[in-house]
Structure 1
Amino acid sequence: MTDNTHQAENEIHEGEIIPPSEIKGNPLSLSPYTKALIKGWEEGVPKPSISSTKISVSQTVSFLAFLYEKMRNAIDFKEEHLIRRASIERIIKRRMLLNENGRDISELLIKELLWARYYENNTIGEEKIGQIQAIIDKYFFIRNEIGAGRSSREQERIASFIIEVMSCEIEENLSPNPRREAFINFAYQLIRPHLAPFDDDVLTRDIQVYIAVERTFSHSDDSLIRYELLKLMLPEITQISWKTADKILPKLYDVYQDIEKNLYHPLSDKIRNYVKKQIPPYLILLDVFNQNPQTIESILADEEKLKNKVDQSCRKRYEETKDRLRRTGIRSFIYIILTKVVFAFILEIPYDLYVVKSISYMPIVINVIFPPALMAAILLTVSVPGDENTRKIFNLIKSIVSINPEDPQLSKNAFVAGKKIKTKSPLFTAMFSALYLFTYLLSFGSIIYILTQLKFNPVSQGIFIFFVTLVTFFAFKVISITQEYLVVDKEGPLTPILDLFFLPVMRVGQWLSGEVLTKFNFLIFIFDFIIEMPLKAIVEVVDEWVHFVRLKKEEIV
């Protein structure tokens, strides 16, 4: 590092904002990929039509639907930016119960999104009704065609795939974001050379890197990744209608199978972990692009201007991370409380009444209080990155905007994801495997022993372990939010000891979250079918009544 660099680092202190006119630094050479990204950024996003008539809904009934969505989303542990797409999928599935092929549901779908305030009232033009219905008709036609003649189980999988990608295209149509795709492609192009192909299979390497970038940079779920891969493998999918879909049907099923195979590739987790470590500077660079769309080229070309912008963005993101951590923690807290209370009434209290013949209040109180208290205690220990992290991010960004990913030198030190780790001896492998198994016995044995001493019955113990494992896993996911911008990895002296106890608990929580809650979440069932269906029917009737009264009033005037 040069003296100039040291001097520049000392010029920016926490809380200080340097006026752009006063910042002058060394020029940076921008790569062709960075220049292409800048050009695409300056073109901006498509502006909505101003002349078209806008769809309007009653704000009176909208509040009720908005309140319901807030409650519903509190029990569905999804990233905030994925909630709207998931709601579109949920609405379509509910409408399918009475309208299997989704005929003429687009207007009601848009109105439901407006009721729930996923979009502001009077912002969606009436022309979108036809566009969205065309998307729905296209995908239901494809579902019926490629599912015909297959087993019922395969038809269900195809239908699920189709509805997921349909909801993604609908959201993209209502709120296009070409800049998102441009930046993801930019990050993908620069990270890709740092991973070696698997057995000389370059295509699979490329797909896996793209999936990893989507998951770590954009926090995309599998539904959105399926859609993005579908567009990459079949670019014409968004341009056709159901009338012209015949030309893609012969290859669509094979593409569907390729997508599913790549989503669950055996090396996907290893690649994602590698890519995740490369992502922090890209997130900050994206902020610099978003905050300075018209002057981004001059900022990137000047080292001191870029340094100032990176410093501002990092400090802002660190503060936002604290807020996001709090919001996510609150949502997790609500989810745990709601689920725990239901468990108490359905399992714990009836077991005490009819089997034990008496209610033991201590286990019930501990089961209600301890899991959220554990979540709060874990979150209180979390801290956000600092100045050292910001300096490293800046140096990485300088490299990112200057480097050419086509440089053959990059592949010489490429990470080999498929490389097998050689163990020192079979004896060590057996010993470590036995030790890992022992950690499970130690963790859960200790918990069961303590609960037994506190007079917990088997059902109360099962509920306690169920929620403690889930809370530990959810807390781990929430903590990962603070590591999103972390380049400097800090590990406390007690971390290995805590990992020894909590790793088995987190593993079980991960399994319960993925294999049990996602498939048997009775709270979601209650909200989606027992509450939502009649509630949305009432909202629809009231909204139509308000519209009818408004028309009659206009006739008088």
Structure 2
Amino acid sequence: MNNLTPALKRLVERYQDWYRSFQQEPDRVIHVDRASSKDVARQQQHLFRKSVILKILNRELIKNKNNEIAALLIKELIRKRYLPNDSLPQDKVQRVQEIIDRQVFILGHAPQRQRGKTKAQLQNWLLSIAACEIERTLVPQKEKSLLDYTTEVMNQRLEGEALNELEQEEKETQIFLACQEVLLGLDQSVVAYYLLLRKFPAWNDPSQDQLIDLAVDIYSLWEEVRESLNHPRRKIRAICRKYEPSFLLLNDILKENLSSVEQLKNPNWTEKKIKRAYHERIEQLKHKLFRTALFASSVIFFLSLFSFSILKITHLTFLSWAVIGLSAVGLTVLTGLLTITVGPPPSKNLSLITMKVMRTIYESKQRTHSIEVLNYSNSASRALTALFYLLTLAITAIMIIWPLVSFELPLLPALVFLVFLSLIFTVRYRLEERVERLEVGERKSLLRNITEILSSPFRKSENWLTTNRKNYPLITGLGSIIR
């Protein structure tokens, strides 16, 4: 692999180690007699599994005073088909129990209150971290290797006065976070867990002295993680997004060719694999777009019909059944049009993305990007930006509601219509995001600008819920469907 970049060589070695670890048959495995027949979509499985782990931890740590719940937790996950039966080695029980014991020790020796945070809040945060750690212990992910690689690559390509003002460690941390958010799409709890590992490398296996120090300083460490997560890195994310197609396809190639990955040094072989991975992703994308269009249209029809019917039945406003039916059909048709017209990238995208991936693999000297300002640094600028956003949203809403009211539609149904319109454009925005993950360059059009404006209320609400919600499987599942 002499032609590969040094960073990629290290990534390949990590993937090969990961592949070899799964070729070894464990001596003893965990068996459960009765497992449910429930199946979970592969791309959503880790989200559901992590949420269920958190739910079990919250429940069992209250009931079991001795905290010996690892075996119970694993067997419950197997019964519910979140883990395979007769597959996990027995030593996973001990490893999971060590994770639980560590969290319990930290909680037991941490101060009751510090830095404006209570112990109850600390417990919620630590258990969310524990759920991530347990989930990745039971089902090891390749994402950490890819994350280290993308962080190293982007760290070499980003420069500028704004980044130079940061300490090297903080600069690498912000790039590390941007790579997680943009390139891997990890949720906040997983991002926080990986950041915790970065700030405290001994987190997974601390000595007794380190564990005591960790318990005393846990509030400070939590605050460091929170401050890093809240740091403005909008422009770093924007540049990382340009490299998302390359990293996605590179990951696909490595994942599907672990036994023959040494062939990467052959450019012809690599080019064929890039095109194959791209075509497979495009086919998956087409099916996803079509399914989402059908699903969204059905949901909007029944939900709008139900909502307008409630307004009529409760006498909150006067609406004829004809108007209700026409509104529901109109919103459904609009949903179908706005979703079905989100097509895959143009044909020229294949050659562009092939060149980009080839450069990522073979060229040691890469183009650098300069960042002079990370984000708006003062409250006045942020306030002006927020005011401009609210004014734009208000003007757009008035332009939509005014014609509806002019046709003698009552104000309340018009507002409900506007809410559904925002929801429809949010679905379109998410579909466009999926397409852009494989597209080199940006899509710019009037419809794109309208989509961004009208979808912003739901998107901002979704971001808030992602940061502040409880981790229940139903909420997790709904969030993954929207995305």
Give the shorter-chain TM-score range. Answer: 0.7 to 0.9
Worse overlay, 126-135 or 324-333: 324-333
Deviations 1:272-317 (Å, cap 9, x if unpaired)?
12101112111111122122223222x3222212111111111111
TM superposition shift of 1:244: 6.7
Q: Is the 8 A contact 1:102 1:140 kept in 2?
A: no
Letter in 1 for 2:397: F
Q: Is the 8 A contact 2:301 2:332 kept in 1?
A: yes
Deviations 1:60-94 (Å, cap 9, x if unpaired)?
xx13xx37x78xx9xxxx96653332332244345
| SS class of match (2:374) | coil
Change over 3 Å in CA distance of 1:338–1:83 after alignment to 2: farther
| 1:42 equivalenced with 2:16 (yes/no) | yes
TM superposition shift of 1:213: 0.9
Residue 27 of structure 2 corresponds to 51
Residue 258 of structure 2 corresponds to 293
Residue 21 of structure 1 corresponds to none
Q: Is the 8 A contact 2:196 2:225 kept in 1?
A: yes
| 1:380 equivalenced with 2:340 (yes/no) | yes
| SS class of match (1:294) | helix
Change over 3 Å in CA distance of 1:349–1:168 after alignment to 2: same
Q: Residues of 1 paired with 2:322 and 2:111: CA distance?
A: 54
Letter in 1 for 2:11: L
Which of 350, 365, 370 is matched with 1:414 structurally?
370
Gaps of 5+ in 2: 476-483
| SS class of match (2:416) | helix
Residue 146 of structure 1 corresponds to 110
| 1:203 equivalenced with 2:159 (yes/no) | no
Q: Is the 8 A contact 2:422 2:458 kept in 1?
A: yes
Q: Residues of 2 paired with 1:339 and 1:94: CA distance?
A: 34
TM superposition shift of 1:194: 1.9
Change over 3 Å in CA distance of 1:417–1:339 after alignment to 2: farther
Change over 3 Å in CA distance of 1:338–1:301 after alignment to 2: same
TM superposition shift of 1:366: 5.7
Q: Is the 8 A contact 1:231 1:237 kept in 2?
A: yes
Superposition pairs for residues 239-250 of structure 1, below 5 Å?
Answer: 239-240=205-206, 245-250=211-216
Structure exhibiting the larger radius of gyration computed from Cα positions = 1
Deviations 1:446-470 (Å, cap 9, x if unpaired)?
3222443565544433433333223
Task: With the length of structure 1 as denominator, give the TM-score of the two structures.
Answer: 0.72
Which of 216, 219, 224 is matched with 1:253 structurally?
219
Q: Residues of 2 paired with 1:199 and 1:512: CA distance?
A: 32
Q: Is the 8 A contact 1:110 1:129 kept in 2?
A: yes
Q: Is the 8 A contact 2:105 2:215 kept in 1?
A: no
Q: Residues of 2 paired with 1:525 and 1:360: CA distance?
A: 39
Superposition pairs for residues 238-317 of structure 1, below 5 Å?
Answer: 238-240=204-206, 245-266=211-232, 268-297=233-262, 299-317=263-281
| 1:185 equivalenced with 2:145 (yes/no) | no
Q: Is the 8 A contact 2:278 2:350 kept in 1?
A: yes
Change over 3 Å in CA distance of 1:89–1:188 after alignment to 2: same
Letter in 2 for 1:190: V
Change over 3 Å in CA distance of 1:270–1:517 after alignment to 2: closer
Superposition pairs for residues 417-496 of structure 1, below 5 Å?
Answer: 417-418=373-374, 439-453=392-406, 456-491=409-444, 495-496=445-446
TM superposition shift of 1:330: 6.1
Letter in 2 for 1:294: S
Which of 124, 149, 161 is matched with 1:160 structurally?
124
Residue 540 of structure 1 corresponds to none
Q: Is the 8 A contact 2:188 2:466 kept in 1?
A: no
- Identity within the alignment, %: 19
Change over 3 Å in CA distance of 1:323–1:514 after alignment to 2: same
TM superposition shift of 1:175: 0.9
TM superposition shift of 1:321: 1.6
Residue 20 of structure 1 corresponds to none
Letter in 1 for 2:252: D
Q: Residues of 2 paired with 1:132 and 1:338: CA distance?
A: 44
Aligned pairs, number: 465
Q: Is the 8 A contact 1:55 1:121 kept in 2?
A: yes
Residue 510 of structure 1 corresponds to 459
Residue 398 of structure 1 corresponds to 358
Residue 30 of structure 1 corresponds to 4
TM superposition shift of 1:511: 2.7
Task: With the length of structure 2 as denominator, give the TM-score of the two structures.
Answer: 0.82
- CA RMSD between the two structures: 3.9
TM superposition shift of 1:512: 3.2
Q: Residues of 1 paired with 2:2 and 2:250: CA distance?
A: 15
Residue 137 of structure 1 corresponds to 101
Q: Residues of 2 paired with 1:132 and 1:417: CA distance?
A: 43
TM superposition shift of 1:438: 5.8
Q: Is the 8 A contact 2:426 2:459 kept in 1?
A: yes
Gaps of 5+ in 1: 1-26, 529-557
TM superposition shift of 1:50: 2.7
Q: Is the 8 A contact 2:317 2:410 kept in 1?
A: no
Letter in 1 for 2:454: V
| 1:174 equivalenced with 2:138 (yes/no) | yes
Q: Is the 8 A contact 2:177 2:191 kept in 1?
A: yes
Worse overlay, 255-264 or 48-57: 48-57
Q: Residues of 2 paired with 1:112 and 1:437: CA distance?
A: 47
Residue 480 of structure 2 corresponds to none
| SS class of match (2:113) | coil
Q: Residues of 2 paired with 1:502 and 1:188: CA distance?
A: 31
Q: Residues of 1 paired with 2:156 and 2:419: CA distance?
A: 43
TM superposition shift of 1:223: 0.8
Q: Residues of 2 paired with 1:242 and 1:453: CA distance?
A: 72
TM superposition shift of 1:115: 3.2
Letter in 1 for 2:342: V
Deviations 1:108-154 (Å, cap 9, x if unpaired)?
43233223322223323444334323322321332343352348854
| SS class of match (1:248) | helix
Deviations 1:349-375 (Å, cap 9, x if unpaired)?
665445548674356546655555443
Q: Residues of 2 paired with 1:239 and 1:200: CA distance?
A: 30
